[in-house]
Amino acid sequence: MADYEVPELHEYPIVPKLQRDVMKHSAPFIAAEKFQGPLGFPGSLPDNWKEVAIDKMGELLGKYRSLQVFLDICVHCGACTDKCHYFLGTTDAKNMPVARQELLRKVYRRYFTFAGKYFPKLVGAVDLTEEVLDDWYSYFHQCSQCRRCSVFCPYGIDTAEISMAAREILDSVGKGHKYCNEIIGKVFVIGNNLGLPEPALRDTLEGLEEEIEEDTGVKVRFPLDEKGADILLITPSADFFAEPHVDGLIGYGKVFHEAGVSWTISSKASEAANFGMFIGSYENMRNVALRIREAALELGVKRIVFGECGHAWRVAYSFLNTLAGPFDFLDQNYPIPQHICEFTNNLLKEGKLRMNKAENDHMKLTFHDSCNVARGAGMGHVEGGQFTIPREVIKASCNYFYDMPQDTIHDATFCCGGGGGLLTDDLMELRVKGAQPRMEALKRVAEDHGVTNLAAICAICKSQFAKTLPYYGFTMDQIVSVHQLVSNAIVMKGSEQEAELDGETE
Ligand code: SF4
Ligand code: SF4
């Protein structure tokens, strides 16, 4: 199945023996000039690349105080070393978070500290060379910016920030990441990551309406570009076509229908994902986010609700107002923006949704906390809402739920292995190996409680698991959307399911 060794799953996590440079060969395809230009980056390494790179580093150090602090304060205590899923899965020493940071820190010391300028050998400072640049390209694309290591660092050093800075410097000298930069370009031109044009989107949504009507007898609408709707739904474009994502979208539609609210999708902002964050580019992140503001204004909506997408929710929850605000034209009585899980959970708590949990009895569920939701955002007005709200929605939708081991969930969750812009086939070996810690935790609940399915609220996690589960003896359909469970269980008014249930109880 693979021309590399798939890591073993153990009964308990084992810290592997360090190996040097075993993943040095792993690097994503470099973006061609046509993908770099529209984003404001050079198409290839300029003659004065070293000067450009050092200037960029200086600019970032000046702009982001946190970056300089993170580069200065590490005491090399080692607490982060065994916390990265890529280190645990690949055993490459440079995938220990502190070692990854050192790749940039060594150059920072050389050009920006007194000791590094005059006594480089004494302080481990190195010149920026093409070899160093290649190491950056390889190993900063072996960090999914998941921030797990920062939870265990006594100083809170965030390797994700360092990896974003490194990628931004790489872009500034023409070493851009093809997968990310090509996608950002598509969002600007077409509106979504997939390059799905408006007519295709409309067709897909009409198809969903027919499917639900056939299945339930109820006409649930999936409106597109409907002016004057109350809610603008911003959702990952994967929701429009791929399983299990689309089953989640069907769930959102049923919830909106039962809530009796008017809503719409926008063809201009038909994408929740914001890959600007992955490449560390504030300008591109802002430009992607501004489409949402423009769509909300053009359609005259009162609220914005986000579908199941992990990093999009981080951008939305933590930065949307800074990037594209103020949102003073929206109804201030609702969270701006709101997560679909919070929307559904509120209705559940108010008793406005009828659920038949037995519809999910063929599954025993566990929940994968997605990194950007768990460690980069919140949800609702309660502390830890990003952990409790999705679980409450799942528990309201099924009878069997079991959490994975405590040290692998909530803010200690393991990345799926495909986050941070690494969900590309040219990084398959890394993705498979990086999934190992999560697979190990899944195996535990499968053995202990008979868990059959893993639910998630992130499009990247769902795609990554669909691809990597089979490498570990599971099947690709074991990953499900949280709103897929809602969709299965919800009993819509006037539906065949309602008639059946009421018939049974009469
Ligand atoms: S942010 Fe995540 S992927 Fe990056 S070094 Fe830390 S644990 Fe590893
Ligand atoms: S835990 Fe923090 S201080 Fe310790 S080695 Fe890692 S990054 Fe440095």
Beta strand extents in 98-252 (DSSP E only):
231-234
Q: Which of 83, 87, 157 to mutate to test the pocket of ligand 2 (most atoms within 8 A of CB)?
A: 157
SS3 41: coil
Q: Domain for residue 12, yes or no?
A: no
Two structure tokens written together for 2? 């693979």
Pocket of ligand 2 (CB under 6 A): 74-80, 97-98, 153, 155, 157
Q: Could you tell me which residues are beta bridge partners of residue 365? A: 401, 453
What is the β-pairing status of strands 338-339 and 365-367?
Answer: unpaired
The boundaries of the domain holding residue 142 are 33-176
Q: What is the pLDDT of residue 506?
A: 60
Using the atom order of ligand 1, give the atom closest to the CA of residue 97.
5
Q: What is the pLDDT of residue 505?
A: 61
Q: Domain for residue 148, yes or no?
A: yes
Using the atom order of ligand 1, give the atom closest to the CA of residue 147.
1
Cα 101 to averaged position of ligand 2 atoms, centre (Å): 9
Q: With contact defined as beta carbons under 8 Å apart, do 226 and 301 qualify?
A: no
Using the atom order of ligand 2, give the atom closest to the CA of residue 101.
7
Cα 408 to averaged position of ligand 1 atoms, centre (Å): 14
How many independent structural domains does the chain possess?
A: 2
Q: What is the pLDDT of residue 193?
A: 75
Two structure tokens written together for 55? 């200037």
pLDDT tens across 271-320, in order?
Answer: 999 999 999 999 999 999 999 999 999 999 999 999 999 999 999 999 99
Q: Domain for residue 506, yes or no?
A: no
Asked whether residue 222 falls in the same domain as residue 323, the answer is yes
Report which protein residue has its CA nearest ligand 2's atom 5.
Answer: 76
Asked whether residue 218 falls in the same domain as residue 156, the answer is no
Asked whether residue 60 falls in the same domain as residue 170, the answer is yes
For residues 251, 253, 257, 261, the Cα torsion angle rounded to the nearest 10 degrees is: 120
Burial of 405 (0-12, 13-18, 19+ CB in 10 A): middle
Q: What is the pLDDT of residue 1?
A: 59
Boundary of a domain, candidates 142, 176, 210: 176
CA–CA dist 418, 93 (Å, integer): 20
Q: Domain for residue 329, yes or no?
A: yes
Two structure tokens written together for 310? 């992990």
Q: What is the pLDDT of residue 187?
A: 83
Asked whether residue 218 falls in the same domain as residue 361, the answer is yes
Nearest-ligand number for the alpha carbon of 162: 1
Q: What is the pLDDT of residue 389?
A: 98
Q: With contact defined as beta carbons under 8 Å apart, do 31 and 103 qualify?
A: no
CA–CA dist 402, 447 (Å, integer): 12
Nearest-ligand number for the alpha carbon of 159: 1
Angle between helices 459-468 and 245-259 (to 10 degrees): 140
Q: With contact defined as beta carbons under 8 Å apart, do 219 and 209 qualify?
A: yes
Cα 77 to averaged position of ligand 1 atoms, centre (Å): 16
List the pLDDT tens digit at each of the 506 positions of the chain.
578 999 999 988 889 999 999 999 999 999 999 889 999 999 999 999 999 999 999 999 999 999 999 999 999 999 999 999 999 999 999 999 999 999 999 999 999 999 999 999 999 999 999 999 999 999 999 999 999 999 999 999 999 999 999 999 999 999 999 999 999 988 888 877 777 889 999 999 999 999 999 999 999 999 999 999 999 999 999 999 889 999 999 999 999 999 999 999 999 999 999 999 999 999 999 999 999 999 999 999 999 999 999 999 999 999 999 999 999 999 999 999 999 999 999 999 999 999 999 999 999 999 999 999 999 999 998 999 999 999 999 999 999 999 999 999 999 999 999 999 999 999 999 999 999 999 999 999 999 999 999 999 999 999 999 999 999 999 999 999 999 999 999 999 999 999 999 987 66
Cα 121 to averaged position of ligand 1 atoms, centre (Å): 28
Boundary of a domain, candidates 152, 176, 200: 176
Asked whether residue 156 falls in the same domain as residue 207, the answer is no
CA–CA dist 186, 180 (Å, integer): 10
Chain centroid to Cα 50, Å, comes to: 32
Q: Domain for residue 367, yes or no?
A: yes
Report which protein residue has its CA nearest ligand 2's atom 3.
Answer: 74
Q: Domain for residue 426, yes or no?
A: no
Asked whether residue 237 falls in the same domain as residue 373, the answer is yes
Q: With contact defined as beta carbons under 8 Å apart, do 240 and 201 qualify?
A: yes
pTM of the model: 0.96
58 CB-near residues (< 8 Å, 6+ apart)? 111, 112
CA–CA dist 250, 488 (Å, integer): 10
Q: With contact defined as beta carbons under 8 Å apart, do 379 and 318 qualify?
A: no
Report which protein residue has its CA nearest ligand 2's atom 6.
Answer: 80
Asked whether residue 190 falls in the same domain as residue 157, the answer is no
Is the CB–ligand 1 distance for residue 148 below 6 Å? yes
Nearest alpha-carbon partner for 252 in 302, 196, 333, 309: 309
Boundary of a domain, candidates 176, 194, 222: 176
Asked whether residue 172 falls in the same domain as residue 220, the answer is no
Report which protein residue has its CA nearest ligand 1's atom 4.
Answer: 143
Which residue is associated with the tokens 């974003």?
Answer: 164
Asked whether residue 133 falls in the same domain as residue 220, the answer is no
Asked whether residue 114 falls in the same domain as residue 231, the answer is no
CA–CA dist 399, 401 (Å, integer): 7
Q: Which of 148, 150, 422, 436 to mutate to test the pocket of ligand 1 (most atoms within 8 A of CB)?
A: 148
How many C-beta neighbours within 10 Å does residue 55 have? 14
Is the CB–ligand 1 distance for residue 256 below 6 Å? no
Asked whether residue 281 falls in the same domain as residue 336, the answer is yes
How big is the CA angle at 251 (ends 355 and 484), to the nearest 5 degrees?
85
For residues 338, 339, 345, 351, the Cα torsion angle rounded to the nearest 10 degrees is: 50
SS3 286: helix
SS3 275: coil
